[in-house]
Structures are given as structure tokens and as C-alpha cells.
């Protein structure tokens, strides 16, 4: 008998001389004798050789069994008459739900937020109301969210402050020029960033002239200014400072070092700052060397490379990967069309290998250029959409073909593999991607209109649009929500048609909003789990994406700015509200303000159920 049946129906079983009905008001659902109860003739005669009386009821369940009933657990046990019955369900604790007969943490973000303390600062009149921000007046900060120490938790990093300059202001690192540093409020705590910042040491004389390293990524603004980025080059999970180029007097960008010996300078991260002295990181010599002035880029000159910095071979060291060659106005994959490959300069402790290895590729990509980049969109019939993803959580990126454009009037669609929608994932080997893909199963319904499904790694990121042509009926993206290392397909919104051939996006579930999460498995994304989300979000329409809309600020009180990120380092992201839409003073436009601006500034964190 199911638990539902035992709770919702009254069952009467009539036996010879005996009947029972559920007990009312007790702790369990037992039996109550109504007839045939009394002394037997043997009792009256004092006979002590009587046999055990037969069991006058039917067991409703197996002893010790447990099953889910609503939001609680029902257990099977004997009542006072020895009959096995389902007891009244015991509700699960707050934040838990029943699964397979036991209470466990429920999927989803809790609807009530907890305060996550943030320091004073940020922008005057706004605070740290956005995940990253730039100064707007003297006294403001520049800041970013980065995991600098590699513990898995995001840190709040003040990279620069605004100082008076003429009639305006200029930002520069604190301690500039002799002892520059960033102020880091470490994450990973229970209820906020560390109140007191630690000084994250920076190398002297690096960055912008007169200003230093004002951000984690920098572009030159004057002669002699440097190009830099923060990347983990040695695989220790801590980002290093990589200085890649300099602006020459003719305003061109070139790598560091002389033309015949180009290099990058790498300042290793030791957990408390970047090294004082750089490690020279030699670049491949020859014609290509002059182009590598950023960690990623694409040269326009004939036969110039398109390149990226990433660990492609899985040894932990970042490699320099040439994915295309310029054949104006396009970049074409090397070896196209018959033997496509990327050119791999393997990374190691001393820099990049001078000679490249061939990294094999399957046929596909764009019809005229192949896989000439780490990702690509479809622009003409016959083009495919692709990207590099670690779908299975093994630390290696796969080449994942997600869709194809056959008819421009219809729009791109997910691949059809084995008669069903899917993605083609080419695992990485020692010297290239496998030429035969594995199939990543996709949900049969949802995604784009016209049955085109989930044709890309993300979709439906707009607020509204016209419904007269093809569009994304759902919004979706890839996140690792459960912290198992696998990416999950997360459906975050749906498009609702309104008058005039227009749609606008809203939350799934209406007043009880949720995301549909297809957890990543070896087979792909095969089963949906309802993932509750809070109410509110964007103009009351819900948390429609993993990140809120930064600009423009909606003129709507109650609208919030949010992002998903791991504040406590448990590998599971939280839904974090950083700002509230608020009107400016006088004729000033609306802006974002941190919650608790005038008292105790904080972010509103919707934790995953714990």
C-alpha cells in the first residue's frame, strides 16, 4: 500500500468477529477492535494450553520500511495490536526534503537570505553594490571578486583608489610607487568577508605609468605602459601575474624583450602576494613572436596567429595554443580543410617550447574556416557552434560541438545524434582531440523555438524581444551547481509572448519560482531537478539568469543585482544579491546601493540548502 493511499483513504477490513478502523488523534494509525472482544470458553475453564490467537488484520507495509510522504518521512511499525502500519509522517527539518525515505538537504537556494558582511568602501553613496566596480569620484575604490589565495572562496580585492588630479581624479594602487599593494578582504568565512584587509604585495614598477597595477587585467594608455593579466600558469590553483606586452612609441603593442628574443614576465603567486622578481617566460621565436603581446589575441596581418593561453594537454602548465592563421578577412585553422590541427607550444617551468606540436582536430567548425578558435558561432549555413568545456569534471577540456546552422531563416539547432538531440564531445588525448565523439544527451523539450533545442552552451540571455522570428523560448546556461566538478545544464527562465509580437522573460513557476537543473552525468543531461529560487530578482520577474543585469539600472524599487559565486569555498555557488535599485538624489539617475548602506553594509546570500 502506498503512503499516499494510507494517508488519504480510510480502509476498513472486515473479518469474522472483528473489524478495525484508523485511530483518530493518536501518534500512529493503528487498529481499534469494535466487535468480538471478550473471554473465550478456554479462559473461563482456566485452560492454560490455549494456542496464540490468530492475527486479525492485514499488514500495510514491511517492518522498518520508510517512505516519503509530502515533506516528511513515514515509517512502518507495529501498533498496539501487532499490526504493521504506516505511522504519521515526521516532517523533515527546515531546509531538508525527503528523498528515498530519508531527509536530506533539499535542492535549491533557500528563499530567506542571510547577511554576508562587506566592508565600508566601494563607491560613495553606493558601497560595494556590484561584484566588481570602478571609482566614480575621489575617495572611491576599484574592486573585483577574485580567488587570489586558491582556497576556492572568492575574495573582495581593492585594486586601486581614486585620488585628486586637476579637476577630476585618477586611480592608482595603494602604496604606489615604492610599496604597492592590493587590499584583500578574504572570503571563506561563515558570515562575511574579513573585516580587516591584508596587504597583497605587488612588484614595483609594473603596470601603468604613475598608477601601477590598478586592476587584474590591464591595457596600456601611454608609451611604456604594460599589458598584463592574472592567470594560473603553473597549475597550483593560485592565479599568477603575467606581464605580456608594452606600448611602443609608435603606439603599437609588442611583447617584452628584443624582437629576436620575445618573452613574458611571470610573477608567481605565493599565497600572500606576487613575487618581487619576475621569471622570464620565453616565447617562441620567429615571425609569430612579435604578435604575442596579450595572453589571448588574433593578429590581422597575413598569416598572423590567433592564440590563447590554456592548459590543453592536462599537465597543469598553461600552453600557448595557435588556433588559427589570418587569411584576411578570416582566420582559418591550420591544415584546413583535410588535416585540421592546432599548433601547440607546450608550457613548462621555463616557458613555452620553441617548436610547436600538432594538436589534431576533427573535421567541422565553420564551413570555410574549421575550428579556428576555442569557441565559435554559426554565421552561414553549414557552420557549427562549438566551445571547449570540461563536462565530465576530469580537469581536461573537451571540444564540444553543440549545434549547427542549416537554414538562416530558422536559426541554429542542436545536433541530432542517434535520433535524439545531443552534443558531440571530443575528449582530449595526449596529442589532440579524439576524432570520434561521445554523445551528450540533451532534454527532448525546451531551448529554442521551432524544436531547435539547446543549440549552444547558453541562450535566452536577453530581457525581451520580438516573437515574429526564431528566438530562445528558454534561458539556459552551464553551471556546476552541486559542486561535483561536472557542469550542469540550468534552465533559468521562459519567454512569454505578449501583445504586439513581443515576448518578455519570466521565471519558471511564477509565484513559486525555480530553475530546472539537468545534472551532468556520463550520458549527458537526462533528468530535470526542480531547483527553487527566491522571489524578486529582475523587476519582480525572478532570478532569470545566473547573473543580474548591471546596466542600465531599472527604475524599479525592489529590483536587485545578483550573481552566483562561491563565497564560503565549499565548491557550491550561492545566489548573492549585491545591490538594490535606488533612485538618485535630485536629477541623478538610479543606481545600485549595497544593502545596509547606512548601517551595516552586507550582501544578501541565498545559500544552497544545507
Beta-strand pair 102-105/398-404? unpaired
Contact 262, 285 (CB under 8 A): yes
Classify the phi-psi angles of 136: left when phi > 0, otherwise alpha if psi is within -120 to 50, otherwise beta. Answer: alpha
- What radius of gyration, in Å, describes the C-alpha atoms of the chain? 31
- 4: its cell numbers: 499516499
For residues 473-493, average pLDDT? 97
Question: Using one digit for the tens of pLDDT, what is the confidence trace for 435-445?
Answer: 999 999 999 99
Give residue 509's pLDDT band: very low, low, confident or very high (50, 70, 90): very high
- Looking at residue 450, the DSSP 8-state letter turns out to be G
DSSP state string for 255-303: EBS-TTS-EEEEE-B-SSBB-SSPEEEEPP-SGGGGG--SSSEE--STT
DSSP state string for 164-217: EETTEEEEE-BTTTTS-EEEEE---SSSBS-SSPEEEE--TT-SBTTTB--SSS
Beta-strand pair 102-105/502-506? unpaired
* Alpha carbons 546 and 539: distance in angstroms, whole number: 15
Instruction: Give the number of C-alpha atoms closer than 13 A to the C-alpha of residue 522, restricted to the C-beta side.
Output: 0
Q: What percent of the chain has pLDDT over 70?
A: 90
- 493: its cell numbers: 527562465
Average pLDDT, the chain: 90
Q: Output the pLDDT for position 32.
A: 34
Give residue 69's pLDDT band: very low, low, confident or very high (50, 70, 90): confident
Is pLDDT of 610 > 80? no
Peptide bond into 329 cis (omega under 30): yes
Q: Output the pLDDT for position 396.
A: 97
Is pLDDT of 263 > 90? yes
Q: Output the pLDDT for position 81.
A: 87
Determine which of 28-42, 267-281, 403-417 has the lowest per-residue pLDDT on average.
28-42
Q: Output the pLDDT for position 101.
A: 85
- 385: its cell numbers: 557552434
Is pLDDT of 1 > 80? no
Determine which of 96-100, 360-364, 461-465 has the lowest per-residue pLDDT on average.
96-100
Question: Which of 53, 39, 185, 32 is closest to 567 using CA atoms?
Answer: 185
Whole-number Cα distances in Å, 516 to 95, 211, 482, 528, 540:
18, 46, 13, 6, 19
* Alpha carbons 128 and 141: distance in angstroms, whole number: 9
Q: Count of CB atoms within 10 A of residue 358's CB?
A: 15
For residues 380-391, average pLDDT? 98
Cα torsion 335, 339, 340, 343 to 10°: value is -70
| pTM, entire model | 0.84
Q: Output the pLDDT for position 135.
A: 98
For residues 504-515, average pLDDT? 95
Contact 472, 449 (CB under 8 A): yes
Q: Output the pLDDT for position 53.
A: 57
Q: Count of CB atoms within 10 A of residue 146's CB?
A: 19
Question: Using one digit for the tens of pLDDT, what is the confidence trace for 76-115?
Answer: 999 988 999 999 999 988 667 777 788 876 789 999 999 9
* Alpha carbons 7 and 68: distance in angstroms, whole number: 12
Q: Output the pLDDT for position 77.
A: 95
Q: What percent of the chain has pLDDT over 90?
A: 82
Question: Using one digit for the tens of pLDDT, what is the confidence trace for 293-317?
Answer: 999 999 989 999 999 999 999 999 9
* Alpha carbons 244 and 253: distance in angstroms, whole number: 10
Question: Using one digit for the tens of pLDDT, what is the confidence trace for 14-60?
Answer: 333 333 233 333 333 333 333 333 334 444 444 444 455 566 788 99
Distance separating the N- and C-terminal Cα atoms of the chain: 32
Contacts of 107 (CB under 8 A, 6+ apart): 97, 517, 529, 530, 531, 532, 608, 609
Q: Output the pLDDT for position 93.
A: 81
Question: Using one digit for the tens of pLDDT, what is the confidence trace for 145-198?
Answer: 999 999 999 999 999 999 999 999 999 999 999 999 999 999 999 999 999 999
Q: Count of CB atoms within 10 A of residue 574's CB?
A: 23
Q: Output the pLDDT for position 18.
A: 33
Contact 339, 308 (CB under 8 A): no
Q: Output the pLDDT for position 71.
A: 75
Give residue 583's pLDDT band: very low, low, confident or very high (50, 70, 90): very high
Contacts of 263 (CB under 8 A, 6+ apart): 255, 256, 257, 280, 281, 282, 283, 351
Amino acid at each position: 500500500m502506498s503512503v499516499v493511499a494510507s494517508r488519504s483513504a480510510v480502509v476498513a477490513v472486515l473479518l469474522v468477529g472483528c473489524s478495525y478502523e484508523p485511530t483518530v488523534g493518536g501518534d500512529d494509525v493503528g487498529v481499534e477492535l469494535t466487535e468480538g472482544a471478550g473471554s473465550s470458553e478456554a479462559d473461563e475453564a482456566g485452560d492454560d494450553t490455549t494456542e496464540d490467537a490468530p492475527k486479525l488484520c492485514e499488514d500495510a507495509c514491511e517492518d522498518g520500511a520508510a517512505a516519503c510522504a509530502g515533506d516528511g518521512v513515514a515509517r512502518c511499525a507495529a501498533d498496539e495490536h501487532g499490526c504493521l502500519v504506516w505511522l504519521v509522517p515526521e516532517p523533515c527539518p527546515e531546509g531538508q526534503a525527503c528523498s528515498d525515505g530519508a531527509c536530506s538537504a533539499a535542492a535549491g537556494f533557500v528563499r530567506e537570505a542571510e547577511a554576508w558582511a562587506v566592508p565600508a568602501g566601494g563607491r560613495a553613496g553606493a558601497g560595494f553594490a556590484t561584484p566588481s566596480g570602478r571609482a566614480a569620484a575621489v575617495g572611491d575604490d576599484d574592486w573585483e571578486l577574485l580567488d587570489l589565495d586558491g582556497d576556492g572562496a572568492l575574495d573582495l580585492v581593492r585594486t586601486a583608489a581614486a585620488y585628486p588630479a586637476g579637476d577630476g581624479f585618477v586611480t592608482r594602487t595603494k602604496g604606489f610607487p615604492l610599496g604597492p599593494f592590493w587590499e584583500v578582504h578574504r572570503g571563506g568565512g561563515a558570515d562575511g568577508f574579513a573585516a580587516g584587509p591584508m596587504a597583497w604585495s605587488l612588484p614595483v614598477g609594473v603596470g601603468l605609468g604613475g598608477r601601477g597595477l590598478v586592476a587584474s587585467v590591464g591595457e596600456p594608455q601611454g608609451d611604456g605602459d604594460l599589458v598584463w593579466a592574472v592567470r594560473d600558469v603553473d597549475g597550483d590553483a593560485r592565479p599568477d601575474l603575467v606581464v605580456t606586452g608594452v606600448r611602443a612609441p609608435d603606439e603599437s603593442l609588442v611583447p617584452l624583450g628584443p624582437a629576436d628574443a620575445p618573452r613574458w614576465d611571470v610573477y608567481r603567486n605565493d599565497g600572500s602576494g606576487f613575487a618581487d622578481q619576475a621569471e622570464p617566460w620565453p616565447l617562441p621565436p620567429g615571425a609569430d613572436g612579435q604578435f604575442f603581446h596579450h595572453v589571448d589575441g588574433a593578429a590581422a596581418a597575413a598569416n598572423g596567429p590567433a592564440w590563447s593561453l590554456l592548459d590543453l594537454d592536462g599537465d597543469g602548465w598553461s600552453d600557448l595554443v595557435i588556433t588559427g592563421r589570418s587569411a584576411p578577412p578570416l582566420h582559418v585553422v591550420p591544415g584546413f580543410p583535410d588535416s585540421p590541427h592546432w599548433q601547440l607550444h607546450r608550457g613548462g617551468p621555463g616557458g613555452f617550447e620553441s617548436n610547436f606540436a600538432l594538436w589534431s582536430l576533427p573535421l567541422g567548425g565553420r564551413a570555410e574556416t574549421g575550428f579556428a578558435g576555442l569557441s565559435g558561432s554559426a554565421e552561414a549555413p553549414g557552420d557549427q557552434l562549438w566551445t571547449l568545456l570540461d563536462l565530465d569534471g576530469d580537469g581536461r577540456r573537451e571540444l564540444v560541438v553543440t549545434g549547427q546552422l542549416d537554414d538562416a531563416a530558422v536559426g541554429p539547432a542542436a545536433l541530432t545524434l542517434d535520433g535524439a538531440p545531443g552534443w558531440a564531445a571530443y575528449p582530449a588525448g595526449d596529442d589532440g582531440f579524439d576524432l570520434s565523439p561521445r554523445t551528450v544527451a540533451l532534454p527532448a523539450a525546451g531551448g529554442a523555438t521551432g524544436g531547435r533545442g539547446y543549440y549552444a552552451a547558453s541562450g535566452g540571455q536577453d530581457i525581451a524581444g520580438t516573437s515574429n522570428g526564431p528566438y530562445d523560448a528558454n534561458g539556459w546556461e552551464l553551471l556546476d551547481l552541486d559542486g561535483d566538478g561536472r557542469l550542469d545544464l540550468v534552465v533559468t527562465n521562459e519567454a512569454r509572448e505578449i501583445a504586439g509580437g513581443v515576448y518578455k522573460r519570466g521565471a519558471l513557476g511564477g509565484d513559486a519560482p525555480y530553475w530546472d537543473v539537468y545534472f551532468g552525468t556520463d550520458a549527458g543531461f537526462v533528468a530535470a531537478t526542480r531547483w527553487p529560487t527566491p522571489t524578486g530578482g529582475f523587476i519582480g520577474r525572478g532570478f532569470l539568469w545566473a547573473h543580474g543585469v548591471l546596466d542600465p539600472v531599472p527604475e524599479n524599487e525592489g529590483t536587485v543585482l545578483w550573481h552566483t559565486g562561491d563565497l564560503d569555498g565549499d565548491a557550491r555557488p550561492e545566489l548573492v544579491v549585491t545591490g538594490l535599485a535606488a533612485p538618485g538624489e535630485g536629477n541623478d539617475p538610479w543606481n545600485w546601493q549595497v544593502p545596509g548602506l547606512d548601517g551595516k553594509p552586507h550582501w544578501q546570500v541565498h545559500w544552497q540548502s544545507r
